[in-house]
């Protein structure tokens, strides 16, 4: 199944769902009022109401669940030192930590990576329903990440 929005296409593998909206707002004074795409991708049913970094969804996650949040940042951030990684990143199990969660939840772990793709700055935040399953789940997340095209 393909999910598309202006400049972002995701060809989802079976068992995954995604929603793209313009819900993320930028905080950069040079870009006041700009709405940027917010992408949520999960291998479980995504609740209708979610925060930028998955609040509302992470509380429902169980052992084999994974959530990927991709938020575009202010145009001025593209290519900055923070966003110096080029291209949609691939993750490793070692990057996940219970301490990397936006809000710690028992047993879960997360990671956050900043990057630039085609002149656009993004933050990628991924959450696993079980820190113990990171070795088996990260390849599934990387498969999803490889299916994201950003124009």
Segment 120-142, tens digit of pLDDT: 999 999 999 999 999 999 999 99
Q: How far apart are CA 130 and CA 110, in angstroms?
A: 10
pLDDT of residue 55: 94
The pTM of this model reads 0.90
Burial profile 28-42: b = 16 or more Cβ within 10 angstroms, e = fewer: eeeeeeeebbbbbbb
Q: Kindly calculate the radius of gyration of the chain based on its CA atoms and give it in whole angstroms.
A: 14
What are the distances in angstroms from CA 111 to CA 2, 3, 35, 57?
Answer: 25, 24, 24, 16
Lowest mean pLDDT among 28-37, 46-55, 114-123: 28-37
Check whether 26 has a pLDDT greater than 50: no
Among residues 101, 119, 117, the alpha carbon closest in space to that of 109 is found at: 101
Among residues 6, 10, 4, the alpha carbon closest in space to that of 124 is found at: 10
Give the pairing type, strands 66-72 and 120-128. antiparallel
What are the distances in angstroms from CA 124 to CA 29, 30, 83, 91?
Answer: 22, 22, 11, 10
CB 6 within 8 A of CB 22: no
Q: How far apart are CA 96 and CA 93, in angstroms?
A: 6
Q: How far apart are CA 88 and CA 131, in angstroms?
A: 23
Check whether 100 has a pLDDT greater than 90: no
């Amino acid at each position: 199944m393909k999910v598309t929005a202006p400049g972002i296409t995701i060809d989802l593998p079976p068992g995954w769902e995604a929603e793209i909206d313009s819900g993320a707002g930028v905080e950069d004074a040079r870009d006041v009022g700009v709405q940027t795409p917010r992408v949520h991708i999960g291998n479980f049913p995504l609740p209708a109401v979610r925060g930028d970094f998955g609040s509302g969804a992470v509380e429902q996650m169980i052992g084999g669940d994974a959530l990927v949040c991709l938020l575009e940042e202010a145009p001025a951030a593209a290519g900055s030192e923070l966003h110096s990684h080029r291209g949609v990143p691939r993750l490793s199990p070692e990057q996940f930590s219970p301490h990397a969660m936006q809000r710690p939840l028992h047993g879960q772990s997360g990671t956050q990576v900043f990057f630039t793709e085609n002149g656009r700055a993004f933050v990628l935040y991924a959450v696993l329903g079980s820190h113990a399953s990171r070795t088996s789940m990260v390849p599934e997340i990387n498969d999803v990440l490889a299916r994201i095209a950003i124009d």
